[in-house]
Structure 1
Amino acid sequence: MRISSERLDQIDESNLLPQVAEPLRQARDDLRDVTGALDAASNAAAIAPDMLGIASPRNYLLMIQNNAESRASGGIPGALAVLTVDNGKLSLGAQISASEFGVISPTLPVDLEQRSIFSTRMGKFIQDVNLTPDFPTAGSMAQAMWEKKTGQRVDGVLSIDPVALSFILNATGPVQISNPELLALSGGGLPSELNSSNVVPTLLSDVYAKIKVPQLQDAYFAAVAQELFSAVSSGKSEPEKLLSSITRGVAENRILLWSNNEDEQAIVSRYPISGSIAGPSVSPAQFGVYFNDGTGAKMDYYVERTVQLVKECPRDGYEQTTVRITSTNTAPANAGQTLPAYVTGDGVFGVTPGAVQTNIVTYGPMQALVEAAKLNGERTGFAPHVHSGRPVAVLAVQLAPGETKTVEVTFAKIVQHAEPNVVVTPTVQAVKDVTLPTENAACG
């Protein structure tokens, strides 16, 4: 099958009639899909047994990302735990919150390119390891921090967010929060049963309104995580439904994996689950739009965003593409007075309570250039950078309650003549509502 695919790829279709060229392209696409699926199955079979602890138990650092406070790969790693996999069976060990984890001193080294974009905070706070969208960097940084704090060297890092948990709950069915002390924390204001419909608003919004003390919020998160992973490891869910739920989480970049084993990571890096910004998992004309919170709070729960690629008219023989990002703060007008201070940030980092500040980090394809940036149609300044050969533009945008702003970043001299695609930070919103279809500019 691979030989057939390679033979079809060698055919020059430029001189073929449309009636022949179109079936040829369809056959190429179909064979690539089948070949890719077979390769993925083969690679999974090669590494899955060891990664699932068939030969010996594996320990992974589990990071549950909180999308209410954005980081490039999803949200701050608000809760941490060691996930042990022994012969395929999951068990969750002791947990710790990011705030309990504390400051890493001395700060871990950060490479020069990423330091210039994301600062040395990546090596100082566990909450900031994923300011970078490159999950292999974030994973290795988190592993080093965990070892420095606990003395335990984990075999890898697994990240998941509450939206992915909602997918999994759709397969396992609801879980019960039966601990009476835990239920009493909220005064009965939080559900005793978590399901695929209520787990996201419960964990990313309601818990802050019902439980005022951050340490008690952490206790609630820990108990919920324990119940959820107990449900997964119990084997009560339908395998096909569970696999489908996990696959969806991976497809939406809500489940990410980094392995400390170089041979395993070399295979993982071929696929989107690696969260890499360069390498074999990244398509030639890939753009990236990533959000890092600048409010120091949990206001991203209220931000709705859309991201769209606009293929501009070619210039000087090169492709041009504009990345359009529209953000709206849907918080109520009186959010500064009605939402908990822990959610608004209470102005501690210089942002008016109720407003949201976001650092928008936009990546272009390899070898392209950032030509210009606009804010609400007017040219604006931006910070230009390069990361792993990809051009990067960074802009800070602040939104008052009810306010909408649109950022446009234009990339020029795109040499990859391939269909563009865009990877976006997974948020509370469904991916289908964030990533809009590519638009073609009218060229005269």
Structure 2
Amino acid sequence: MTMPKPRITFRGRPGDSRDARRAGLRFRGSRARIAMVAVVALPAAAAAWIGVTGWLAHSELLAARDDLNALRGSIGTSAVRGARATGAAGAPAESDQERLLRSAAAHASRAHDLTTGPAWFVAAGLPLVGGPFETVRGIAGASDRLASDVLQPLVRAVPRLSSAAGAGSVPTALAGLESEAPRFARAARVAAEVRADARRLPHSTWLPAADRGRAELSGQLDRLVPQTRDVAVAARVVPSMLGTHGPRRYFLAFQNIAEARGTGGLPGAFAVLRADRGKLSFEHFGNNTEIDVEAKVNLGAEFEAQYGYNGPQSLWANSNMSPHFPYAGRIWTSYWRAKTGRTLDGAIAIDPASLGMLLGATGPARLPDGSELTADNAVDLTERDSYAKYSDVTERKSFFVEAARAAAGKMTTAFDDPRLLPALLRAVHDVQRAGRLQVWSAHPGEQRLLEARPFGGALPDAPGPFAGLVLNNGAGTKLDYYLDRSLVWEPGACTDKGRAVTTTVTLTNRAPSSGLPHYVTQRVDAPPYRTRPGDNRLLVSYYAGTGAKLTRATVDGRPVQPIPGFERGHPVYTLDLELPRQSSRTLVLHLHEPEGDRPPTVLRQALVTPLKATVKPARPCGR
């Protein structure tokens, strides 16, 4: 029996059969085609994935934005006032704020998840074309962090604090605010980190929608970061300043913004405010005729050189010529100590515009004559109409005190009413953002925190470009009610000294030529030249950035030599300027700013009419 011989095939080697060789070639060809298809398909698939997930992420971000807009609109409404409702099981029900925030956080989280992963990572790193993908990823990540780590601690604290206040326990609410301080501080820190990350995102890409999204995010963060810092500072200082750990007393000055001073307006009526475990009361009301003593406080050689010749420590009317509010606070409390022997814990300044904003939240205050002080008439009634109504100076000063007493009484009543408290707190926030609330504490730890925030009223002393227009009325008139101010900061060419900057200041006196009371138009300064009723005189000071140098100045095109000075690191240039009625004067200053690549910090002195400030963009030096 013959056995069949085994057949052995050696694939891919000489001697293979033709079919086997063809099969091997087909196999290798199919692998190559698969590889080629993969090379072509993977980028296409990745692009499709990015397109789909990008569209979905965009929808999620829009939904998150809508929730946050609704959340912002809900603050202060009846849906969020007072204590939280309870659910069926007796547990606190979710507030509208918490529901909106939870929804916004979920949308932002999904947008962040959709824009992570290898495809987005690789796309964002592509040269030339990766900018929009990096921007979209950054926007989604920032939105996720803002909703979860910044807004949630802030919003979730509101019901807890409102519940305590709604139960009539302001001390408990203050203690709760104090306990929330670490969370608020962390939220402020995260918000600052997110803003720093957002600023590093590409500013100009080939996709306009991504650029618009980044710009919108940056604008929101520029508003949010200061607010979170304000809340964090308030949580640390407000409980103690309102007497949580013992009674406090403050000098409260009502500034008359119809006559300009560095911190805003001429100090007129005043009060001594007592705070004890959140309960506010007033121990005394008075006017400038009571301040007939000399303050004894050392404010340094720089202050003395800049203001000493105007007697700020002996003349009540000149006590706040500096825009640095802590100087005024120290002088005012020293006045009170010299007069009464009593030490105060700090000083606060507000003005009629502040009272109007606060009365908008609390409702009108009734005056002794039966009339009302309202949100709409607070400025006009105290800064204009009262001068026509009361020809007797003593009567007019009494009216100012009574108006201050009525408004203050309305505020303290509202502070004790949990139904009005949210709206009142929002009004306080608006007042301080407008620069019309200034607070100084005699306690160093509190003051260090206050001085870093706008409501501390401090003249910033950090380096960098700066534009500060500060006016002090030099005529003794009450004509600054009719004053308009504009400032244009325009960067020029780069030089070896920094950057050339031109600042144009225009001042307009809209005072009518007739019909004003004599007290409003009288010239206490008694100038040696002829004036008409309605003419005004101003000490105009311009504060430049640290290290800046003035090269030339003109008024209405004519060369002038401003008086140089120095305050808290800023060179100060001052002119004595006559401002006739129904006229404008234009001051132009040419300077060199050593750090001109950034926009300047603009100081906004709070008067009747807000400053119109225009900052023109600069092209960075070296480009």
Q: Report 1 or 2 for greater relative contact order, CA contacts < 8 Å, sequence distance ≥ 6.
A: 1
Instruction: Return closer, same or farther for 1:12/1:228 CA change in 2, 3 Å cut-off.
Output: closer
Which structure carries more helix by proportion? 2
1:259-291 Cα distance to aligned partner (Å, 9 max, x none): 000000011111011111134xx6833321111
Q: Which residue, 328, 345, 367 being the options, matches 1:138?
A: 328
Is residue 2:389 matched to residue 1:210?
Answer: yes
The residue aligned with 2:269 is 79
Superimposed CA distance per residue, residues 314-352 of structure 1 (whole angstroms, 9 cap, x where no aligned partner): 333722332222111112224xxx433321224553273
| Counterpart check, 1:251 vs 2:441 | no
- Verify the 8 A CA contact 1:325 1:407 in the aligned structure 2: yes
How far apart are 1:7 and its partner, in Å? 9.1
Question: Residues 36 and 195 from structure 1, CA distance in 2 versus in 1: closer, same or farther, beyond 3 angstroms?
Answer: closer
Identity %: 27
Distance 1:15 1:332, change over 3 A: closer
| Residues 47 and 70 of structure 1, relative CA distance in 2, 3 Å threshold | same
Counterpart in 1 of 2:143?
none
Give the aligned length.
Answer: 423
Mapped pair 1:343 → 2:532? no
Determine the structure 1 residue equivalent to 2:443. 261
Q: Tell me, yes or no, if the aligned pair for 2:490 and 2:502 is still in contact at 8 Å.
A: yes
**Structure 1 residue 150 and structure 2 residue 331: aligned?**
no
**1:104 & 1:202 partners in 2: Cα distance?**
32
In the other structure, the counterpart of 2:568 is 388
**Mean CA deviation greater in 144-153 or 28-37:** 28-37
Whether 1:365 aligns to 2:555 is no
Which stretch shifts more, 51-60 or 35-44?
35-44
Q: 1:160-309, aligned counterparts within 5 Å?
A: 160-177=350-367, 179=368, 183=369, 192-235=371-414, 236=417, 238-279=420-461, 284-309=464-489
Q: Is the 8 A contact 1:67 1:300 kept in 2?
A: yes
- CA gap of 1:240–1:387, structure 2 versus 1, over 3 A, is same
**CA displacement at 1:79 relative to structure 2:** 1.1
Q: How far 1:302 moved relative to its partner?
A: 2.0
Structure 2: distance between partners of 1:342 and 1:400 = 17
Structure with max Cα Rg? 2
Separation in structure 1 between the aligned mates of residue 377 and residue 581 of structure 2, nearest angstrom:
24
Aligned to 2:597: 417
- Kindly state the Cα deviation for residue 234 of structure 1 after the two structures are TM-superposed: 1.1
Partner of 1:188: none
The answer to whether the 8 A contact 1:299-1:356 is kept is yes
Q: Which runs of 5+ in 2 are unaligned?
A: 1-148, 150-188
SS of the aligned residue for 2:472 comes to strand
Asked if the contact 1:59/1:83 (under 8 Å) is kept, the reply is yes
TM alignment of 1:54-73, pairs within 5 A: 54-73=244-263
In structure 2, distance between residues paired with 1:119 and 1:266: 26
Q: Match of 1:435, as an amino acid? A: K
Q: TM-score, normalised by structure 2?
A: 0.62
RMSD: 3.0
Q: 1:412 to 1:14 in 2, by over 3 A?
A: farther
**What is the CA–CA distance in structure 2 between the aligned matches of 1:43 and 1:340, rounded to whole Å?**
44
- Structure 1 position 394, deviation (Å): 0.3
Q: CA separation in 2, counterparts of 1:15 and 1:217? A: 60
1:45 aligns with 2:207: no
In the TM superposition, residue 381 of structure 1 has moved relative to its aligned partner by 1.3
Using the TM superposition, give the Cα deviation of residue 87 of structure 1 relative to its aligned residue in structure 2, in angstroms: 2.0
Amino acid at match of 1:342: Y
CA distance in structure 2 between the partners assigned to 1:81 and 1:15 by the alignment: 53
**Is 1:115 aligned to 2:295, yes or no?**
no
Secondary structure of 1:152's match?
Answer: coil
**Partner SS, residue 436 of structure 1:** strand
Compare 300-309 and 221-230 and name the one that shifted more: 300-309
Letter in 2 for 1:83: L
